Amino acid sequence: PLSFYWSISKQIPYLDLVFGPDNIAALPDLLERAREKGERVSETQMHKKKTGYTFMQAEPMNDGKPQAMVTVMKGCNKTCSYCIVPRVRGRELSKPATEVVSEVERLVANGVKEVMLLGQNVNSYGHDREDGVLFAHLLDKVDAIEGLERLRFTTSHPWDCTDELISRFDGRLPTLCEYFHLPVQSGSNRILEQMRRGYTTEEYLLQVDKLRKTCPDIHLSTDIIVGFPGENREDFEGIIELFKRVRFDSIFAFKYSPRSGTSAAKQTDDVSKAEKNSRLAEVFSISEPHRQEQMLKYQDQVVEVLVEGPSKQSRKDNAEAQLMGRTRTNVVVNFPVANAAVGAWRWTGKTAQIQVKRVLSHSLYGEVALVQ
């Protein structure tokens, strides 16, 4: 939006180029214009029409990484009171399924094994189009691509978590990973209504039950906001009860802070900083035992790991190196390999069977049982 342009221009007066997310495809031309004119060039117009928008294509990077992200839509039609996304990214616009499939095919041909489908509200994909291809159907099409081993997506909204989408986790799509990030944001119906989330805790729990019935091994993660304006102790207790009921495998918790331009920013931020800190700490103290309980189930098990490369603890000049990868349920696994200088860095992109020897606070450590 234009207001952000003026704000940035005032803060950084020496800028040569200012452009918005809808103008990324024009970046080469904008850079050339900035060089030629010798003065500031700006392009911050948001695309508002259903046709004519150019999606950027994810091209192979030739960096050996086995994972890639593919944007399948942009924007959001929801009106969550605390969120600035609809204002800065505009209305939902879906990339044609044929383009998505073609993009993934190119990536897979270049060695990519795992693809993450991206969107601000990814599971509402297709509602703006007339070809009838909704998100569940897009998953069907991408899963059918030969050579693709794993398929993920983010971020989802509970409103669009349909039974048709949930059904895709029943095993019919071999590449679809057993992991679902489903932000709940609050455990209080009163606060959810003020957030304008469009669902109740009861409706959210019903979706969780359906997901776990369809895929008993699915890992669930969520987002939570504490200290939203007007959140009292009873509202916060709703979060605690929800966490005890769902027992998330991982959480991303945040203290509320107002975002300029949102309707929630007009409300009084009446929960003190100290109280927000206390509630955030309590959320983590409640969720951590549940997460650790889930992690301990991996002890001595053999898990399938897509090797991503050296772990943070590894160095190329070590005689023994540590590599890392993730399970289909998105758990990080570290494991050692010998003769790192010769072969360890060639493991990237391979699938390894790792026997778990230790369960750490946020990851697993194991030994190679088999490499495919």
How does DSSP classify residue 185? B
DSSP states of 6-71 as a string? Answer: HHHHHH-TT-SEEE-GGGGGGHHHHHHHHHHH-S-EEE-PPP-SSSS--PPP-----S--SEEEEE
pLDDT at 1 over 60: no
Domain residue ranges in the chain: 2-43, 67-296, 302-371
Q: How many CA atoms does the CB half-sphere of 286 hold within 13 Å? A: 22
Model confidence at 36, in pLDDT bands (50, 70, 90)? confident
Specify the pLDDT at position 287. 95
Strand 364-371 to strand 250-255: parallel, antiparallel, or no bridges (unpaired)? unpaired
Residue 184 has pLDDT above 80, yes or no: yes
What's the CA gap between 363 and 125, in Å, rounded?
A: 32
Q: Please give the CATH topology (third level) of the domain spanning 67-296.
A: pyruvate-formate lyase- activating enzyme (3.80.30)
Band of pLDDT at residue 51, cut at 50, 70 and 90: low
List the CATH code of the domain at 302-371.
2.40.50
Q: 101-112: buried (b, 16+ CB within 10 Å) or exposed (e) per residue?
A: bebbeebbeebb
Is the confidence at residue 225, as pLDDT, over 90?
yes
User: Minimum mean pLDDT among 29-33, 66-70, 239-243: which range?
Assistant: 29-33
Q: What is the dihedral of CA 160, 166, 235, 251, to 10 degrees?
A: -110
Instruction: Decide if 67-296 and 302-371 have a common fold.
Output: no
**Which parts of 60-178 are beta strand (E)?**
67-71, 73-74, 93-94, 114-118, 150-154
pLDDT at 185: 98
Q: What is the largest CA-CA distance in the chain?
A: 64
- Is residue 338 within 8 Å of residue 274, measured between CB atoms? no
Report how far residue 368's alpha carbon sits from residue 24's, in angstroms, rounded to the nearest whole number.
43
CA distance 111 to 198: 41
| Average pLDDT estimate for 316-336 | 85
Over the stretch 185-223, which tens digit does the pLDDT of each residue have? 999 999 999 999 999 999 999 999 999 999 999 999 999
pTM of the model: 0.90
Residue 214 corresponds to which tokens in the numbers above? 């369809």
| C-alpha closest to that of 72 among 126, 21, 26 | 126
Is 60 exceeded by the pLDDT of residue 114? yes
Strands 179-181 and 150-154: unpaired
- Compute the mean pLDDT over every residue in the chain, rounded to the nearest whole number: 91
Place of tokens 């790192």: 340
Q: Give the per-residue pLDDT at 176.
A: 99
Of 274 and 311, which is predicted with more confidence? 274
Question: What does the alpha-carbon distance between residue 107 and residue 102 come to, in Å, rounded to a whole number?
Answer: 9
Q: How many helices (H) and strands (E) does the chain have?
A: 10, 15
Range name among 45-59, 227-241, 283-297, 348-362 with the lowest pLDDT average: 45-59
Q: What are the tens digits of pLDDT across the range 60-81?
A: 666 778 999 999 999 999 999 9
**Which of the four pLDDT bands, split at 50, 70 and 90, describes residue 309?**
confident
Q: Whole-angstrom Cα distance, residue 56 to residue 49?
A: 17
- pLDDT value at position 337? 86
Is the predicted pLDDT of residue 45 greater than 90, yes or no?
Answer: no
pLDDT digits (tens, 9 = 90+) for 243-275: 999 999 999 999 999 998 999 999 999 999 999
pLDDT at 177 over 80: yes
Q: Give dist(CA 96, CA 301) in Å, integer.
A: 41
User: Does 39 have pLDDT greater than 80?
Assistant: no
| 198 to 77, 83, 186, 204, 260: CA distances (angstroms) | 12, 14, 12, 10, 22
Question: Length of the chain in residues, anyone?
Answer: 372
Tell me the residue type at 247.
Answer: R
- Sole residue written with tokens 């959140």: 231
The predicted structure's pLDDT at residue 344: 60
Tokens 């944007």 identify what position? 71
Segment 103-131 mean pLDDT = 96
